[in-house]
Each structure stands twice: as C-alpha cells, then as structure tokens.
Amino acid sequence: LHSQLQNLGCYVLSNLELRMFLPSVAAGDTVFMTITDVYAYNATGVNCRVLSAVAQLKARQRDVRPLHPEDMMHNEILNCSRSWCTEVTCEVQQLLQDVVIRVSRRAHDDFFRKAKYKSVRIVSDFDLTAKETNLITLRAGMLRGESVLEVLKGRAIPISLWILIGSIIGGFLLLALIIFILWKLGFFARKRREDENDED
C-alpha cells in the first residue's frame, strides 16, 4: 500500500498529519491483517507510529459492529465500521515536493480459509490534516481518501487417487516404451562398441 503526498505549489508545507485506518481485526478478536513495515521514501522528518494492540483499538473504536467470518457471504465489505482498524499516523514536518509512504501488510490465511465468501473488499480510509490551518488551505478532495483491496476465494480442486495412480503407471509405461525404441534402434549397442574401441 503506497500513499503519495505531493506539493504542487511553490511554498514548503509544514506540519502535515496523514492518518490511515486499515481493517485488521474481525469478530472474536480474530486478526486477519497485520502491518509488517511502514517506510517513507524521499523524506526527512517523517515520523510514523502504528497502533495495533486489539485492546486499545476496541477502546478507541467503540462504534464498530464486527463482522463474523460466517457472515461474509452476505456482506462482502470489510471496513472500519465492520472491523477494528489499525491506526497509522505519519507526521510530516516539511513537504518540499513529494513524499511516498509505503505500508506493508500481511494477510492471515487461516481467517480467510474459515470464512465463507466468493470475494471480499477490504476498504482502508485516509485523511490528511494541516496543523497550521491559518497558513494552509486544503481542498476537500485532498482531505479524505480510500483504498480498496479485493481478496478472491481460491477453489480447491480435488485430485482422485485413481488419477494419480494412473498418471504414475502411464509415466512408467512411456519411459519403458522410449527405452525399448532406443534399444531397437541400437542406441545402447553403439555405445558399447565405442567403449570397446576406447579400451583397445
């Protein structure tokens, strides 16, 4: 997940705060997504902190109605009203031209294996604020944004035991046929004569 802040003006912007809310915890305190790394490119003076402890998230986000994995067949969206969201806050001291903030996440397979769904969209929210509001005016479209990650359910295709055994036997028969054809063509005999000539 990459967030890019661009300064298209001719003045340096100071004291910006980017907040990201990334869905992470479902019903029963089941963690389905964790943040592994937060890194800022082309930036000095960017400090990011992550709040991911489940108890703290539940205390701060009291309006959440968590989605149970079995209910995902009827509701295909995981957002901050249907799951507790990890909070990432990045303070940008000075924005000269552009800053790219990369957030690496890892999905937990055990949650998605148990859940009943065809596809689910994980919707993350972003908002950008300027602490010095008397100097900086941000357009409404720049203040909020969202990112959508779609997870598709893979289909397990069972392989029959008879197909497996038949494939192994077929492979052995094909190998035997190739060896028989090479033997009939005298491939192995020629090799033996060359060896005898080398010994002489």
Question: Do 189 and 110 fall within a single domain?
Answer: no
| pLDDT tens digits, 33-73 | 888 888 887 667 788 888 888 888 888 888 888 877 777 77
| pLDDT tens digits, 160-188 | 778 888 899 999 999 999 988 888 887 77
What are the Cα distances from residue 83, in Å, to 37, 38, 106, 183?
Answer: 21, 21, 16, 68
> Domain residues for 187?
161-199
Q: Residue 125: which CATH number?
A: 2.60.40.1530
Question: Residue 97 is encoded by which pair of tokens?
Answer: 């031209």
Indicate the pairing of strand 46-51 with strand 98-107: unpaired
Question: Do 99 and 35 fall within a single domain?
Answer: yes
